[in-house]
């Protein structure tokens, strides 16, 4: 995936996804945010939560060996509209077993995480476990029902018939391509409410930057005439808990970071910070039953 993102189609996809993320996470408030995988995408740079992590699993460790050097260019937007360097902590953990206490995170971003995870169902259930009520999950993925997905299937068919055996496929390899509507059903079963759902990258599946630029007009036309056939989808969902409602935030000192001792911390922590066991997690919200 990291190598494919350096290609012209990968850069086109990365630019669209970065624009969607910057717009979606800028006004999400809380204390703790997590990006699971794909450090090449700066998913949390526009967010203002004090504690942010970028985690890699067995599928995403190729971009994390550099430790702090990998995150050196990450910046976030400040209140004046400018940018300032953002200190992130990098973790090594699997998406099926996140090292966080129950209901301890306010935001989880999954950039192409489910389609590369060994067990996407369990990974999504793990996100449900660590998210607080009214917390949000942001999911990005490649749509199998698209022009890009069609070219990928044709490439697989040509390889199966012995044609173009040594020619690389158009899209990177994945454990499973999860469709947009299928993923919405999974979220509904976990009591997530869809807040944002859109698609992008409607242009033809071409391999050169010149031809991709020529077909940029398809972005505007595709969003109007075939909106469900975008090459990528972007979803923001809110965790709802039945029988409970949010009544306010506790005006106390900032809650400690809920990182468990089982996680392997790769990046350096800011001065004066330490990572402890998450046997007890902070509760930043007061919940009151409707009954």
3-state secondary structure of 94: strand
Q: Return the closest-CA partner of residue 221 out of 209, 204, 196, 197.
A: 204
Domain range for residue 73? Answer: 4-289
What's the pLDDT score for residue 135? Answer: 95
3-state secondary structure of 79: coil
Q: Residue 52 corresponds to which tokens in the numbers above? A: 């942010």
DSSP code, position 111: E
What's the pLDDT score for residue 170? Answer: 82
The residues near 110 (Cβ < 8 Å, ≥ 6 apart) are 36, 37, 95, 123, 127, 137, 138, 139, 140
Grouped pLDDT means (10 residues each) for the chain, 291 residues: 88 94 92 91 90 74 43 41 55 87 94 91 94 95 91 74 68 83 94 93 91 91 88 95 63 51 46 42 41 41
What's the pLDDT score for residue 160? Answer: 62
User: Considering the entire predicted model, what is its pTM?
Assistant: 0.75
Is the Cα dihedral 31, 37, 43, 45 positive or negative? positive
Question: How many domains does the chain contain in total?
Answer: 1
CA atoms within 13 A on the CB side of 267: 23
Q: Which CATH number goes with the domain that contains 70?
A: 3.40.50.150
The residues near 92 (Cβ < 8 Å, ≥ 6 apart) are 55, 56, 57, 61, 64, 263, 264, 266
Rounding to the nearest 10 degrees, give the CA dihedral for residues 115, 119, 124, 126.
-140
CA distances from 173 to 6, 120, 127, 133, 180 (A): 15, 15, 24, 34, 18
- Give the H or E element holding residue 13: helix 8-25
Q: Residue 287 corresponds to which tokens in the numbers above? A: 């919940």
Q: Which residue has 């972007």 as its token pair?
A: 234
What's the pLDDT score for residue 256? Answer: 54
Q: Judging by DSSP bridges, how do beta strands 244-249 and 285-289 pair with one another? A: antiparallel
Looking at the DSSP bridge assignments, the partners of residue 199 are 233
Looking at the DSSP bridge assignments, the partners of residue 111 are 140
Q: Which residue has 């509209």 as its token pair?
A: 81
Q: Residue 120 corresponds to which tokens in the numbers above? A: 């996407």
What's the pLDDT score for residue 261? Answer: 45
């Amino acid at each position: 995936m990291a190598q494919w993102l350096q290609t012209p189609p990968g850069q086109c996809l990365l630019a669209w996804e970065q624009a969607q993320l910057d717009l979606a996470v800028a006004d999400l408030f809380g204390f703790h945010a997590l990006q699971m995988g794909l450090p090449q995408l700066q998913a949390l740079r526009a967010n203002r939560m004090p504690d942010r992590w970028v985690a890699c699993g067995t599928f995403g460790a190729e971009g994390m060996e550099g430790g702090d050097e990998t995150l050196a260019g990450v910046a976030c937007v400040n209140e004046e509209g400018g940018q300032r360097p953002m200190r992130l902590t990098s973790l090594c953990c699997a998406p099926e077993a996140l090292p966080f206490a129950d209901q301890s995170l306010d935001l989880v971003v999954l950039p192409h995480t489910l389609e590369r995870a060994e067990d996407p169902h369990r990974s999504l259930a793990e996100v449900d476990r660590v998210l607080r009520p009214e917390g949000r999950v942001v999911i990005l993925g490649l749509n199998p029902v698209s022009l890009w997905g069609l070219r990928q299937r044709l490439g697989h068919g040509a390889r199966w018939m012995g044609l173009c055996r040594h020619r690389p496929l158009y899209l990177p390899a994945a454990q499973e391509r999860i469709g947009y509507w299928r993923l919405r059903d999974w979220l509904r079963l976990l009591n997530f409410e869809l807040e944002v759902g859109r698609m992008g990258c409607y242009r033809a599946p071409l391999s050169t930057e010149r031809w991709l630029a020529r077909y940029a007009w398809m972005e505007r036309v595709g969003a109007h005439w075939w909106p469900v056939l975008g090459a990528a989808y972007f979803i923001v969902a809110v965790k709802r808990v039945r029988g409970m409602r949010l009544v306010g935030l506790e005006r106390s000192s900032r809650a400690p970071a809920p990182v468990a001792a089982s996680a392997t911390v790769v990046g350096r922590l800011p001065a004066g910070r330490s990572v402890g066991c998450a046997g007890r997690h902070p509760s930043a919200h007061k919940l009151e039953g409707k009954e």
